[in-house]
C-alpha cells in the first residue's frame, strides 16, 4: 500500500471535503471543509489529503504552535478505508514530515479519552499522555523528539 500526503488545492478540494465518517465518529471531528477554510487564514495550519495511490482516503492537519512545537489538530480516515492500517501508515508519514523541521522538538495530539482505538494507535507511535485539558474532555499526548544537534560531537549539551 503506497500512501502519500498531498497539499489541498482546487483539484482535490471537493474529494477531500466529501470523505465520509461513520455517524458515531462525526461528533468527535470538525468537518474537513472547516479545517481547510481555517488553513487559508492561518499560515501555520498545514492541511494534507491522505492518498492511497490516486484515491483520497483521509485528511490530516497539523499546526505549528511555535518553532519547536507542532500539534496534530485533525486526523481522519474515511469510513470505507478504516481498519486497513491506513491510519497508522498515514500517522507515521505525518510524523516523519513534521520531524524534518529541525526546530521541532515536540509533536502533540489530542483525542477523546473514550476513543480507545485512537489512544492505542497514538501510544504505539510513541505519544505519551500528559493529561486532560482543563475541561476534562480531551486527552493531550506528546512525542518529544531527540535531536543530534542537541549535543556536540563529544556528547555534551550545546549551550
Q: pLDDT (tens digit, 9 = 90+) per residue, 69-97?
A: 999 999 999 999 999 999 999 999 999 99
What is the distance between the alpha carbons of residues 143 and 61, in angstroms, rounded to a whole number? 17
pLDDT band for position 149 (cuts 50, 70, 90): low
- pLDDT at residue 38, as a whole number: 93
Q: Averaged over 9-36, what is the pLDDT?
A: 87
d(CA 85, CA 133): 29
Residues in Cβ contact with 16 at an 8 Å cutoff, skipping those fewer than 6 apart: 8, 32, 36, 49, 56, 59
pTM of the entire predicted model: 0.86
Asked if pLDDT for residue 26 goes beyond 60, the answer is: yes
154 vs 88: CA distance, rounded Å: 36
Amino acid at each position: 500500500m503506497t500512501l502519500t500526503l498531498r497539499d489541498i488545492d482546487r483539484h482535490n478540494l471537493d474529494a477531500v471535503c466529501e470523505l465520509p465518517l461513520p455517524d458515531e465518529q462525526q461528533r468527535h471531528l470538525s468537518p474537513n471543509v472547516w479545517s481547510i477554510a481555517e488553513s487559508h487564514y492561518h499560515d501555520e495550519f498545514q492541511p494534507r489529503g491522505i492518498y492511497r495511490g490516486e484515491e483520497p482516503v483521509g485528511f490530516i492537519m497539523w499546526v505549528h504552535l511555535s518553532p519547536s512545537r507542532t500539534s496534530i489538530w485533525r486526523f481522519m480516515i474515511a469510513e470505507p478505508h478504516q481498519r486497513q492500517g491506513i491510519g497508522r501508515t498515514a500517522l507515521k508519514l505525518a510524523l516523519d514530515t513534521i520531524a524534518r523541521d529541525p526546530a521541532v522538538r515536540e509533536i502533540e495530539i489530542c483525542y477523546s479519552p473514550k476513543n480507545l482505538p485512537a489512544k492505542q494507535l497514538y501510544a504505539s507511535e510513541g505519544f505519551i499522555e500528559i493529561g486532560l485539558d482543563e475541561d476534562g474532555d480531551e486527552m493531550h499526548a506528546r512525542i518529544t523528539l531527540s535531536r543530534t544537534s542537541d549535543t556536540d560531537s563529544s556528547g555534551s549539551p550545546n549551550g
